[in-house]
Structure 1
Amino acid sequence: MPLEIRKVLEKFLSLLIGLGSVFILDSLYPAKSPPFWRYICVDMRVTDNKKAHNTSSYKNTSLIVRRNKEFIIIIRFDRPFNNQQDNVHLEFMIGNSPDENKGTYITVSFGKEKRDGRWNGRVIGMQGNEVTVGITPDASCIIGRFRTFVTIVTDLGKQRTQRNPDIDLYVLFNAWDPGEDTDRQEYVMNDVGIIFNGEINNISSRAWNFGQFEKGVLDACLLVLDAGKVPLLYRGNAIEVVRQGSALINSQDDDGVLVGSWSGDYSTGTAPTAWTGSPEILLKYAKDGGLPVCFAQCWVFAGVLNTFMRCLGIPTRVVTNYCSAHDNTGNLKTDIILDEDGRVNRSRTRDSVWNYHSWNEVFMRRPDLPERFSGWQVIDCTPQETSDGLYRCGPTSVNAIRDGELSYPFDARFVFAEVRNMSMLFDVYLPSSDKYGNTKVINVDTTYVGKLLITKRMNSNAYEDITSAYKHPEGSLKERETMQMAERRGVSSRDYLPPAEAGVTIELQADTIKIGDNFKLTLNIKNQTRQTCTLSATITGCVVYYTGITSSIFKLDNKAYMPYLVEQSNLLFVVYGRIEENGKTLSTMRVVALRPPELTIKVTGTPRVGKDFMVTVSFRNPFNFILKNIQLRLESPGLITTKLKTYDHIAPGGSLQYTETITPQYPGKKVLIACLDCATVRQVTSQLEIFVQ
């Protein structure tokens, strides 16, 4: 065969191999002139390499490594390898059209014509027909699944191995790189966590199975990037992957993983409150070929994004912001409009303050910003506002938010508005009776928004207060400097005309109650003047979503709120008063949290590897009405996959009991997570830590 034709065929077949076709290039050589030696097999040393790269936890039989760290493999030939005379290439390809210039076709050469490439390679040793080599993916390597080929190069041409999925290679981000100074065990390796919710006066939590190491989850996370058409060139840049991920976990505009819904009607999917972890969601998304999963709200978005980032190797945590502002009017003020009788005017109130809102932080260097803005970065995939045309948020530096440096990418002003108590004015208006429909301020609270920001404490289920990472102390010089900096960066001034002092203060007190219990309100009134004051006051009670949106107003009678309850609902009480002697007005409000009924988990037997033990989940219906169409989930990362049971109804006072037999495969601490959910009662959860011997 002429040399020119052979080269053309070789190039053509190389392209086909890059596309996943199976060829061996023996046909390029005349029958009388075969290569003098052949490749036999390659040992990827999966167990040893995974241990060295902190990837042993992935339930995946392929080799998984972290970039910028050497992994060692052994290649066997049919004769000894001669480093001075022989030439061997290890080729790693990703994508449909591998290109050396784009980093999607990597060649690591060994032997007499060794040349430098993107990845470093070295011969570690030779014994018999085996050669041991070390390979180091470069620090900016594309993350994903590479196809591996061994190519023998001779004067007659190349002999490349067939495609063998068993020697495919996954490359991930490396949080163990110098400069990535954070707790990797908590923020990369921990596969179960706590997401905090509730409200500022009643902080509650639920366990969440991140499950980043579960079977199929890594491939599902890579599918998210593929389905979102994220260019391979972007996948070596952590900033790009993080920003793309914050868009792709929601399906608002790009057929991402989750459909957000706050409608209350989840009959066409799963209620957000029913999920117990990310693997079920990501695996369903992959199984359905990239069809968005229904439904999610902020903590579900945050839980799945946490899994996505940790799975790819980026340190990530979930953060909860209590009294989180959503400023629809864009004036950095949260405006609550009252009717003349003191009730919240739902049609005119466009802004809202969420009881809580969950987002994520990722820990990374920001080479695109000054050095002091590296570290924790806010990302948020709950679809609230668009950024560069897509529903996403971040990454934005937490340090930049704290210091009012809002001109750096990405979305710093939006996050600043969610947490900044001195720039967010909590204004309550009373409609005037003039023909222009003007309003007047009757109350301003500059400390209402961003009262508390927390995340799970390392090695504990308690929370860590990280408010000081976002804001300087109230009234401090640093805080004033931050506001001045923010105003220079374009945010609205916090100047306002405060309402005149009424001389009387009011405070509403109430305790957290169980759903269905009676509530007790105490209104404390303090006269700070020397005159007698006559106060006329109206107390309005309404059911409110956790997003701060009011649902229904109810009478202040015992249990009168029950017919109006919505998912994750709390009770909002608004007091509006007028002093008859001077006509001045005053108001206050209080959110009363409602605790759901209890769900219990009990273990029978001692959990031991290879031995059965039983887990029983129990629930009693404490209400005087029937619960219908109940879902019960039980799961535990590293122990059992999600078990879903459905029940037609539970009568008043009736009980439910579900028992599962489990045979542990791995020792260590495990967390059992259970959740009961139905249309009339949401957020009924429980968790139990056990130790498998």
Structure 2
Amino acid sequence: MLFGGIDVSWPAGSETSAPADYAGTNRPIQCESEALDYSATEEDQLLLTVQQINARIGPTLMENRWSSDYSGGKDPASWTGSVAIFETYLRTGRPVKYGQCWVVSALVVTVCRALGIPCRPVTAYQCGHDMGDSFVLNLHKRFNKTGDIRSRYEGGSCWVYHAWNDVWMERRDLRFGLGGWQAIDATRRSFRNDILSRESGPASVEAIKTNQKVLQYDTIMGRLVVTKHPILLDDHGEQDLKDITNEYKHTEYRTRRLPNCVPVFKGRDVIFTLAPMRRTEFGQAFTVAVKIQNNCDEERYITCALSINSVFYNAVVASGIKSINQELVLKPNDVGEVKVEVSFDDYYKRTVDEDLIKITTLAIVGKTKQIWSEDYYFLLYEPSLIFEFSKHPVLNEATIMSVTFRNHLKVPITDGTFVVEGSGLLNPKTIRIGDVGPDEQVTMSEEITPMRPDYLNMFATFSSKELRGVVGSTTVKVNQREKWLTKFIKTLKHK
């Protein structure tokens, strides 16, 4: 599925998100937007403007890093919105450290909307990269005696998820019907040296859907990323999650068999099923199980390997957690199981970034040579942050906001840090709280003064050496204080 609107999404089956504050009404965004030449957003200049935004934000405004070492900068997961990034860049004049695709996507939204260009972030699960004109990825798997399975893609890679942007514009340079949403990918542009090449976009989403690859400026980029699940989210987060897969590709592609794909093994009399994973919080144990059912009247000798690894969001394996290689014999119409128990101690200190786990299975049936394999990504969930206000927020009146975190691990966590911000409520602020013991609760409090009446969003993250990506958000309604005359008239009417 494809989602767009906020900027962190997770593997299918565990959809969640971290809302981003695009801060279009905040300083310095307002101050800078007032100084802009809006003729750049007129129709004849709009394409060039979007190309320049797409080409410059990646390498100029943000320095990206895809590793677990973020020394000298900030963990990409700790950003709560765009304001702090723009303020840092305006102060230093150098690219801000560090970002990844969803951070860059949020910056593109802020700049485009400040210019009056409609823009939405889009996220896709399990999307291909750099496959060339064939749009084909060949996956090779091998396993050893311990059950450790290694996967290798030929011709490119397949990321767990990826975020980019759509902008809305007419396309009079293209044939009729190709206007509307246009895809741009500032993160992907940062991989390229040429500024305004075919990779710059914008690419017509309709052209991507209908596989028109020879149009200006680029539909190849769009075709590369849309191999599976595009999704859309809006400013308020997962409450308004919208599936836009049918905007990027025909939905019948999900079930249609490609004409050049022919089944190699026709006799599939053994059924393999990877048991559904239950929601697991970081710190809890979990079980991975493969159910095997022999549906024939003969014995079947089966070799089944199961490998569990921590991975980065670009699907690169960070560390092995546990693996097993098991042989079993199933009698006619019998059912068996291969199971692995994974404890907190097994994966503690082995997970990276978003605490993504990849399960890889590979099984071979001896006599028929039937092969079964499946990859599954799931997320270890972080604890929630709890927001409280000392009183209902009122325009231009101070109130105390508090954010609470509880350490649910059996080990202490170190170097705990809160980051909070909310457009119209509070400028980005970092509060360091130090170490937190097992089952200990910590609360940070901050005085806020709402600057406009509206439904406003407050965002917070908590990070430490042991826990990353603990995020939370809340929406509050800010009211105006009634004038004394209005209040007096209401009282009279009531009497």
Common fold: TM-score over 0.5: yes
The answer on 1:609 being equivalent to 2:395 is: yes
TM-score (norm 1): 0.60
**Cα gap change, 1:619 to 1:379, in 2 (>3 Å):** same
- Provide the residue aligned with 1:662 in structure 2: 448
Q: Secondary structure at the match of 2:309?
A: strand
Show the counterpart of 1:468: 246
Confirm or deny that 1:204 pairs with 2:16: yes
- Give the aligned partner of residue 89 of structure 2: 285
Q: 1:515 to 1:686 in 2, by over 3 A?
A: same
Indicate the residue corresponding to 1:412 in structure 2.
Answer: 219
Distance 2:409 2:317 in 1: 24
**Distance in structure 2 (CA, Å) of the matches to 1:472 and 1:248:** 32
Q: SS state of the match for residue 207, structure 1? A: coil
- Note the alpha carbon deviations across 1:118-169, whole angstroms, 9 max, x for none: xxxxxxxxxxxxxxxxxxxxxxxxxxxxxxxxxxxxxxxxxxxxxxxxxxxx
Deviation digits for residues 595-632 of structure 1 (CA, Å, limit 9, x no counterpart): 01221111111211232211001111122333222321
CA contact (8 A) 2:19 2:237 kept: no
For 1:567, the equivalent position in structure 2 comes to 353
Contact 2:149 2:305 (8 Å CA) reproduced: no
Structure 1 residue matching 2:87: 3-state secondary structure:
helix
Structure 2 equivalent of residue 178 of structure 1: none
Q: CA deviation at 1:691?
A: 0.8
After TM superposition, list the pairs within 5 Å mapping 1:101-180 onto structure 2.
none
Deviations 1:59-90 (A, max 9, x none): xxxxxxxxxxxxxxxxxxxxxxxxxxxxxxxx
2: CA distance, partners of 1:373 / 1:351: 28
Residue in structure 2 matching 1:644, options 411, 422, 430: 430
**Which segment is superposed worse, 326-335 or 589-598?**
326-335
Aligned to 1:444: none
1:540: Cα distance to partner? 0.8
Corresponding residue number in structure 2 for 1:533 = 300
The residue number in structure 2 matching 1:505 is 271
The answer to whether the 8 Å contact 1:220/1:285 transfers is no
- The corresponding residue for 1:270 is 74
Identity of aligned residues (%): 25
Give me the TM-score of the superposition, normalised by structure 2. 0.83
- Indicate the residue corresponding to 1:352 in structure 2: 157
Contact in 2 for aligned 1:346/1:550 (Cα 8 Å): no
Distance 1:609 1:194 in 2: 27
CA contact (8 A) 2:412 2:435 kept: yes
Contact 2:273 2:292 in 1 (8 A): yes
Q: Which residue identity lines up with residue 23 of structure 2 in the other structure? A: G
Corresponding residue number in structure 2 for 1:558? 343
Aligned partners of 2:417 and 2:433 also within 8 Å = yes
With over 3 angstroms needed to count, the CA separation of the structure-2 counterparts of 1:659 and 1:349, relative to structure 1, is: farther
- 1:372 corresponds, among 171, 177, 187, to 177
Report what 1:301 is aligned to.
104
Long gaps (5+) in structure 1: 1-186, 188-192, 420-448, 484-493
CA gap 1:514/1:669 in 2 versus in 1, 3 angstroms: same
1:549 partnered with 2:316: yes
**Aligned residues of 1:621 and 1:651 also touching (Cα < 8 A):** yes
Deviation for aligned residue 1:206: 1.4
Please report how far the alpha carbon of residue 526 of structure 1 lies from its aligned counterpart in structure 2 after TM superposition: 3.6
| Matched ranges for 1:371-520 at <5 A | 371-383=176-188, 385-386=191-192, 388=194, 393-419=200-226, 449-456=227-234, 461-474=239-252, 495-496=260-261, 498-503=263-268, 504-509=270-275, 510-520=277-287
Q: Shift of the alpha carbon at 1:452?
A: 3.9
Q: Distance in 2 between matches of 1:547 and 1:346?
A: 14
Give the structure 2 partner of residue 59 of structure 1.
Answer: none
From 361, 365, 371, the equivalent of 2:166 is: 361
Letter in 2 for 1:500: F
Structure 1 residue 260 displacement after superposition? 0.6
Query: Which letter does structure 2 place at the counterpart of 1:260?
Result: N
- Give the AA of the match of 2:343: N
1:237 to 20, 33, 45: 45
8 Å CA contact 2:354–2:379 kept in 1: the answer is no
1:607 and 1:220 map into 2 onto residues whose CA distance is 28
Contact 2:131 2:224 in 1 (8 A): no
- Please say which structure displays the higher CA radius of gyration: 1
Deviation at residue 350 of structure 1 after TM alignment: 6.8
Instruction: Give per-residue Cα distances to partners, 1:11-37, cap 9 Å, x unaligned.
Output: xxxxxxxxxxxxxxxxxxxxxxxxxxx
User: C-alpha separation between the residues in 1 aligned to 2:210 and 2:352?
Assistant: 39
The one of 111, 114, 137 aligned to 1:311: 114
CA distance in 2: counterparts of 1:282 and 1:572, whole angstroms: 35
Cα separation, 2, equivalents of 1:283 and 1:549: 32
CA positional deviation for 1:497: 5.0
> Displacement, 1:539?
0.8
Q: Give the deviation of 1:656 after TM superposition.
A: 1.8
Report the alpha carbon displacement of residue 292 of structure 1 after superposing the two structures with TM: 0.5
Supply the distance in 2 between the matched residues of 1:607 and 1:458 (Cα, whole angstroms): 19
* More RCO (CA 8 Å, sep 6+): 2
How far off is 1:343 after superposition?
3.8
Query: Does structure 2 conserve the Cα–Cα contact (< 8 Å) formed by 1:502 and 1:586?
Result: no
Question: Paired residue for 2:137?
Answer: 334
| 1:234 CA drift (Å) | 10
For 1:476 and 1:522, locate their aligned partners in 2 and report how far apart those are by CA, in whole Å.
26
Counterpart contact for 1:195–1:318, Cα < 8 Å: yes
How far the C-alpha of 1:305 sits from its partner, in A, is: 0.5
Where in structure 2 are there 5+ consecutive unaligned residues? 323-339, 480-495
C-alpha root-mean-square deviation of aligned residues, in Å?
3.0
Q: Partners of 1:233 and 1:593 in 2: how far apart? A: 41
Residue 528 and residue 403 in structure 1: after superposition, are their counterparts in 2 closer, same or farther (change >3 A)? farther
Taking the TM superposition and a 5 Å limit, the aligned residue runs for 1:39-118 are: none
SS in 2 for 1:495: coil
Asked if structure 1 preserves the Cα contact closer than 8 Å seen for 2:142 and 2:151, the reply is: no
Query: Which SS does the other structure have where 2:105 is aligned?
Result: helix
Which residue number in structure 2 is paired with residue 250 of structure 1?
58
- Shift of the 235–215 alpha-carbon distance from structure 1 to 2, 3 Å rule, reads farther
Structure 1 residue 673 corresponds to structure 2 residue 480: no
Q: Which amino acid aligns with 1:596?
A: E
Query: Is the 8 Å Cα contact of residues 18 and 237 (structure 2) preserved in structure 1?
Result: no
Q: Distance in 2 between matches of 1:194 and 1:450?
A: 19
Distance 1:521 1:583 in 2: 24
Amino acid at match of 1:678: S
Deviations 1:546-598 (A, max 9, x none): 22111111124322112211001321111111111223322112222210122
Paired with 1:561 and 1:218, the residues of 2 have a C-alpha distance of 45
Aligned partner of residue 214 in structure 2, secondary structure:
coil
User: Equivalent residue of 2:69, what SS?
Assistant: coil
CA displacement at 1:646 relative to structure 2: 1.8
CA distance in 2, matches of 1:284, 1:458: 25
Q: How far 1:336 moved relative to its partner? A: 3.0
Residue 18 of structure 2: SS of its match in structure 1? strand
